[in-house]
């Protein structure tokens, strides 16, 4: 049997005319918005530097004041030392919270900076599930996944889309503080693929449901309000859509729909390959 001919290039089902306009053709307002984003990202980076210095020095103080006293045979710390150590640990907690806010803001500010290539959506989702599984197991959250093999590829920026999926998994975990079920399903819908992430957690009220994708809107203690809005933006940058249904006390389900890629095999090419057999 003669060797088969090389496959023709993969082409997206959707019209490529939807590609973003070149930077030099952007209207003035978009140039201003892009400048403000760069300015905000630079400011966030400048905030991260002293936060990192604070975190390192607080860790050293915690080790010096707490670690030494925990050594075998060491005397019990006095009331003053206990108060100081508690204050150090409170500062560490607040620094971590600020670092989380800055990291979330940086991810949000980098909107539009994506580099897509053909990728296996199921493999990416499986990788993120494996990443969150240990922490979910501690919180008594059970995973149920349907990730079929052999689906056409999807144009993805793997770094950005991994973050979008991770945000949904973390959101589900936060909605199930007492444990529950995380159900993840990928299914082909014609020329599209649907990723569904469902939890059996607290659910949302109609008002929360309406506002859940708003920037800085959060009902969670310590939440930044950027996780779901970042996911929403990333999905739109991938020419996709995201919807959500929820019922208070029963759970929430997010659905992401993305265009698939198809392999274009010309009929003539298939006939030639058949003749060579």
Please state, in angstroms and rounded to a whole number, the distance separating the CA atoms of residues 98 and 254: 28
Per-residue pLDDT tens listing for the chain (277 residues): 444 444 344 344 433 333 334 344 445 555 655 666 667 667 776 777 788 888 888 888 887 776 655 556 666 767 777 788 888 888 888 888 777 777 766 666 665 567 899 999 999 999 999 999 999 999 999 999 999 999 999 999 988 899 899 999 999 999 999 999 999 999 999 999 999 999 999 998 888 888 888 766 566 655 556 778 888 888 998 999 999 999 999 999 999 999 999 754 333 334 444 444 4
| Whole-number pLDDT of residue 132 | 93
Tell me the pTM: 0.61
Please state, in angstroms and rounded to a whole number, the distance separating the CA atoms of residues 35 and 31: 6
Place of tokens 């659905």: 255
* Inter-CA distances, 150 with 58, 118, 153, Å: 50, 14, 9
Q: Which run of H or E residues covers position 257?
A: strand 251-259
- Which residues, at least 6 apart from 141, have a Cβ–Cβ distance to it below 8 Å? 172, 173, 176, 179, 180, 181, 182
Residue 242 near residue 231 (C-beta atoms within 8 A):
yes
Residue 171 near residue 227 (C-beta atoms within 8 A):
yes
| Whole-number pLDDT of residue 75 | 66
Residue 40 near residue 48 (C-beta atoms within 8 A):
no
CA angle 154, 155, 157 (to 5 degrees): 120
Please state, in angstroms and rounded to a whole number, the distance separating the CA atoms of residues 124 and 195: 11
| Whole-number pLDDT of residue 168 | 94
Domain 24-109: give its CATH code.
1.10.287
- Which residues, at least 6 apart from 259, have a Cβ–Cβ distance to it below 8 Å? 12, 13, 14, 154, 155, 191, 192, 239, 240
3-state helix, strand, coil in the chain (%, to 5): 50, 20, 30
Please state, in angstroms and rounded to a whole number, the distance separating the CA atoms of residues 42 and 38: 6
Please state, in angstroms and rounded to a whole number, the distance separating the CA atoms of residues 16 and 177: 43
Please state, in angstroms and rounded to a whole number, the distance separating the CA atoms of residues 10 and 180: 40
- Number of Cβ within 10 Å of residue 230's Cβ equals 24
The reply to whether domains 24-109 and 117-263 share a CATH topology is no
CATH 3.30.70.20 fits 117-263, yes or no: no
| Whole-number pLDDT of residue 111 | 58
Q: What are the residue boundaries of the structural domains of the chain, listed by start?
A: 24-109, 117-263
- The residues facing 56 across adjacent strands are none
| Whole-number pLDDT of residue 13 | 40
- The residues facing 243 across adjacent strands are 255
- The half-sphere exposure of 56 on its side-chain side, counting CA atoms within 13 A, is 6
């Amino acid at each position: 049997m003669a060797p088969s001919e090389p496959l023709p290039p993969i082409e997206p089902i959707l019209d490529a005319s939807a590609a973003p306009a070149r930077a030099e053709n952007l209207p003035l307002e978009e140039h201003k918005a892009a400048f403000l984003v760069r300015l905000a990202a630079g400011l966030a980076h400048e905030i991260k530097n002293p936060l990192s210095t604070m975190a390192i020095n607080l860790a050293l103080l915690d080790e010096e004041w707490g670690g030494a006293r925990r050594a075998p045979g060491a005397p019990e710390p006095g009331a003053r030392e206990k108060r100081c150590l508690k204050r150090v640990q409170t500062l560490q907690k607040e620094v971590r919270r600020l670092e989380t806010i800055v990291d979330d803001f940086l991810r949000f500010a980098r909107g539009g900076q994506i580099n897509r290539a053909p990728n296996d959506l199921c493999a990416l989702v499986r990788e993120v599930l494996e990443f969150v599984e240990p922490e979910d197991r501690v919180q008594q959250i059970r995973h149920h996944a349907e990730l079929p093999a052999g689906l056409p590829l999807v144009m993805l920026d793997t770094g950005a889309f991994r973050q979008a999926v991770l945000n949904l998994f973390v959101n589900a975990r936060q909605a199930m503080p007492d444990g529950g079920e995380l159900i993840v399903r990928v299914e082909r819908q014609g020329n599209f693929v649907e990723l569904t992430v469902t939890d059996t957690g607290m659910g949302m009220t109609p008002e929360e449901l309406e506002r859940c994708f708003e920037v800085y809107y959060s009902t969670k203690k310590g939440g930044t309000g950027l996780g779901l809005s970042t996911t929403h933006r990333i999905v739109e940058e991938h020419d996709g859509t995201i919807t959500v249904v929820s019922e208070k006390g029963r759970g929430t389900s997010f659905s992401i729909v993305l265009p698939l890629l198809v392999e274009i095999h010309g009929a003539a090419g298939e006939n030639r390959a058949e003749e060579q057999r």
